[in-house]
């Protein structure tokens, strides 16, 4: 099944990127210690870690670096999960298992920004914090609890009053919320390009336009075939996210790919100083999420989802523009000028999955909209898994692949839950 991205990355992020990477297509046959399939930031972070540990590492990217969701995201760096707080994780995974996972999530933004600093990645990194404004009193109570739970783990969090949240956002439509001062935002395309450059510096052989067409066991090694070559290695790590095909069919059926759309205004001039004046990133508490951040030239970058994809390039910017105009009346009613989208991998319970087989095949999947920080934090975890670290010592414990019920139907109908989400959001308000 062809599943790699075919659309170009965001013209906005590409135009703003000062990082540039170009890799050759694989031609001929190679041998390696590990093959990483997937050149998004998850695969790159894992490849970098493996190379730093002394493994001869080859990375195969089906399209070009940044062409998938890694280069098309909104760019928010969030060291928290979409649905589960620390107490929920401890109830689900008691003891050391939950604590290892929580420590990884709590430090996820640190890992990303450390990569930026270590390799001098020019990606407009801003670590001014992440805000989660609450759209209802009930959600405010919930996120206040989350702030306390993450603070107990050492995270720099705090609860914000309605007045303080209004000052930080530049709008009065929320009842308060919480902040994570360790978060921020980046140009995700530039970051991914910079990671590819860093991988090359560490000795990783990075090949673009080299899709893995087949994965076959050959004696004590795997043979990964591409259109013009192959790589032979005892271990393979899949980091293909929402573009996962049939190399390992069981894991493709564990996720539901969802299209996330982004849109941006033109540079706002002096108005940009009144919206997010502290230059944080923000994502609210709605199930039909509303989120925003600024780029380095003062554009407001936001996005959303659609139940019906027809005319998305016209309907989504209009929808997002109307929402932003309601929040910031000084914006014009139809302010969005750029539009793009990409697919993210969602799991039913909104938790990531790590898979590992005894024959040297490993994979992780399920970013659930937290792919930037989480993907970087999973790099060392994937390296541990490849190296054979025991299950109970891994930050994310491996499980067996379990398919989403009626998966063929689910992947075609999942977006139709959006009207129900919007109904729930209105009821809460």
Which pLDDT score, from 0 to 100, does residue 1 have?
46
Which pLDDT score, from 0 to 100, does residue 7 have?
52
The β-bridge partners of 257 are 345
Task: Tell me the C-alpha distance between 1 and 244, whole Å.
Answer: 9
Give me the tens of pLDDT residue by residue for the chain, a chain 429 residues long. Answer: 455 565 556 789 999 999 999 999 999 999 999 999 999 999 999 999 999 999 999 999 999 999 988 999 999 999 999 999 999 999 999 999 999 999 999 999 999 999 999 999 999 999 999 999 999 999 999 999 999 999 999 999 999 999 999 999 999 999 999 999 999 999 999 999 999 999 999 999 999 999 999 999 988 999 999 999 999 999 999 999 989 989 999 999 999 999 999 999 999 999 999 999 999 999 999 999 999 999 999 999 999 999 988 999 999 999 999 999 999 999 998 999 999 998 999 999 999 999 999 999 999 999 999 999 999 999 999 999 999 999 999 999 999 999 999 898 888 888 888 889 888 998 876
CATH value of 11-73+189-254+350-407 in 3.40.50.10260, 3.50.50.60, 3.30.70.20, 1.10.760.10 = 3.50.50.60
**Distance from chain centroid for Cα 244:** 15
Cα distances (angstroms) measured from residue 33 to each of 39, 59, 222, 229, 236: 17, 11, 10, 17, 9
Cα distances (angstroms) measured from residue 14 to each of 116, 188, 304: 18, 9, 20
**Full-model pTM:** 0.96
For the chain, the structural domain boundaries read 11-73+189-254+350-407
Which pLDDT score, from 0 to 100, does residue 414 have?
86
């Amino acid at each position: 099944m062809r599943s790699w991205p075919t659309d170009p990355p965001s013209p906005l992020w590409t135009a703003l990127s000062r990082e540039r990477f170009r890799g050759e297509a694989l031609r001929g046959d190679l041998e390696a210690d590990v093959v990483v399939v997937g050149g998004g930031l998850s695969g790159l972070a894992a490849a970098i870690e493996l190379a730093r540990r002394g493994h001869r590492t080859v990375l195969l990217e089906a399209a070009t670096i940044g062409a998938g969701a890694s280069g098309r995201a909104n760019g928010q760096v969030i060291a928290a999960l979409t649905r589960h707080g620390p107490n929920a994780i401890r109830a689900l995974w008691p003891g050391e298992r939950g604590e290892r996972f929580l420590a990884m999530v709590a430090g996820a933004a640190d890992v990303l920004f450390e990569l930026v600093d270590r390799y001098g990645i020019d990606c407009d990194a801003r670590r001014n914090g992440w805000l989660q404004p609450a759209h209802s009193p009930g959600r405010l109570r919930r996120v206040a609890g989350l702030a306390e739970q993450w603070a107990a783990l050492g995270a720099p969090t705090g609860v914000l009053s309605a007045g303080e949240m209004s000052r930080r956002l530049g709008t009065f439509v929320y009842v308060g919320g919480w902040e994570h001062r360790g978060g921020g935002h980046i140009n995700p395309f530039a970051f991914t390009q910079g990671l590819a450059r860093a991988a090359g510096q560490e000795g990783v052989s990075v090949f673009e336009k080299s899709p893995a067409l087949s994965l076959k066991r050959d004696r004590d090694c795997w043979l990964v075939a591409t259109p013009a070559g192959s790589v032979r290695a005892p271990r393979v790590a899949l980091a293909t996210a929402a573009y996962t095909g049939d190399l390992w069919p069981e894991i493709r059926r564990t996720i539901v790919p969802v299209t996330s759309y982004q849109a941006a205004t033109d540079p706002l001039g002096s108005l940009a100083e009144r919206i997010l004046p502290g230059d944080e990133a923000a994502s609210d508490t709605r199930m039909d999420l509303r989120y925003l951040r600024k780029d380095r030239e003062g554009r407001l970058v936001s996005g959303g989802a659609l139940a019906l994809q027809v005319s998305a390039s016209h309907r989504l910017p209009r929808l997002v523009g109307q929402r932003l105009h309601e929040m910031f009346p000084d914006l014009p009613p139809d302010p969005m000028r750029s539009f793009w989208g990409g697919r993210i991998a969602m799991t039913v319970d909104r938790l990531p999955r790590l898979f590992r087989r005894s024959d040297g095949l490993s994979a992780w999947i399920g970013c659930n909209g937290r792919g930037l920080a989480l993907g970087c934090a999973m790099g060392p975890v994937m390296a541990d898994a490849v190296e054979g670290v025991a299950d109970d010592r891994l930050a994310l414990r491996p499980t067996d692949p379990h398919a989403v019920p009626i998966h063929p139907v689910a992947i075609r109908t999942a977006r139709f839950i959006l009207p129900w989400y919007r109904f729930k959001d209105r009821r809460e308000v």
